Structure 1
């Protein structure tokens, strides 16, 4: 007979494998914590309230988002809400179209530009990032991260990587995951990455600004 301890462990593994993690910027709190009634199926931030813990410095000219994905494929959207206390007003999208990611493992969006018209005076301002995930099983899941925009912020080394076998394509079909009335950033120029830049934390990363409909292969360094 299967031991109780092993049954609990197996249930945890199955529970975790059906969800996703937001590892950079660091998520608001561990949304796997059922004891606190957190659930990644709960809009807008998996039931995790504002102010429970983590806040990360994030580049004002566009930063990275690192995920750990556990489904064979999923559609990913990144939304933004400005302000110190953001509950459900994620009214700006940083991904104009859905990004379909195939593969299980670490996946990084290396550069998410902000709208030019909000950059002035943004240094030191607080905001929150919402990641929505439409998975292969038909469920929509959520995680959030609280950030502070910093002019001198850099993506930490090793924080933005892509596992071998991960791939992504930007699609133009509508998706319910984009926040209602959300605005879309327009990059003034195409981003570039250099080995010594913050966005160069992963040479296998992908800059998604302006890549509508373009298939991208993600290679691990």
Structure 2
């Protein structure tokens, strides 16, 4: 009985460390709490309530900081406009991000796509999806309010862990190139541009696509 208990505790600890959290904007709630699960789209079964905290975010896009626990993760960020249960149909990462290393990964500014112009005071939610070696997607959400008074994180407030590097995954199968980047998702963070057509990448894209399509129907 004691051995079984220890095994269960170790398994639960392993599951917890293999997941991730949104450090900024403030995450909607505890996705490890009873009834919640990061395997559940779109927000880990953590529902919006009247007490949900909302972080003020700039009108043209703001910072996103994650605490990642896998040796590497694919990261995908979507936006949904509205207060309660928005459709996360606006991609803030047109290309999938591949983040190597576990720890803090911070994007100083995630720009809004052209044509997306939220009004001052408009509520929205950010959904972050990650995928790892097993190809299973994990989800968390953060709630924001757009405002002209908000600023992005700067300096030490938005620093990657020393072992964390982010690259872009493209559909090209040609030889890789390297680009110096600025930290915006339009010109991705970190030094490399990854060209990958692996089954893992394809599977993660397909899984996300299927979920987004089913959510929109």
TM-score (norm 2): 0.74
Distance, in Å, in 2 between the alignment partners of 1:23 and 1:56 is 11
Q: Structure 2: 5+ residue runs without aligned partners?
A: 173-180, 194-217
Q: What is the count of residue pairs matched by the alignment?
A: 183
**Post-superposition, which runs of at least 4 consecutive aligned residues in structure 1 deviate over 4 A?**
1-9, 156-159, 211-214
CA distance in 1, matches of 2:139, 2:91: 14
Aligned-pair distance for 1:102? Answer: 0.4
Contact 2:58 2:146 in 1 (8 A): yes
- Does the 8 Å CA contact 1:170/1:214 hold for their aligned counterparts? no
Give me the whole-angstrom Cα distance separating, in 2, the residues matched to 1:117 and 1:215.
29
Q: Distance in 2 between matches of 1:32 and 1:142?
A: 12
**1:171 maps to which residue?**
169
Deviation at 1:24, TM superposition (A): 0.4
2:39 is aligned with 1:41: yes
Rounded to whole Å, the distance in 2 between the matches of 1:214 and 1:7 is: 41
Aligned pairs (5 A) from 1:172-191:
172-173=170-171
Mean Cα deviation higher: 46-55 or 95-104: 46-55
Question: Which protein is richer in helix relative to its size?
Answer: 2
Contact kept, 8 Å, 2:108 with 2:152, in 1: the verdict is no
Q: Would you say the 8 A contact 1:72–1:136 is kept in 2?
A: no
Alpha-carbon distance, 1:135 to partner? 1.3
| TM-aligned CA distance change 1:212 to 1:24, over 3 Å | closer
Do the aligned partners of 1:28 and 1:145 also contact (CA within 8 Å) in 2?
Answer: yes
State the SS of the aligned residue for 2:158: coil
Aligned match of 2:31? 31
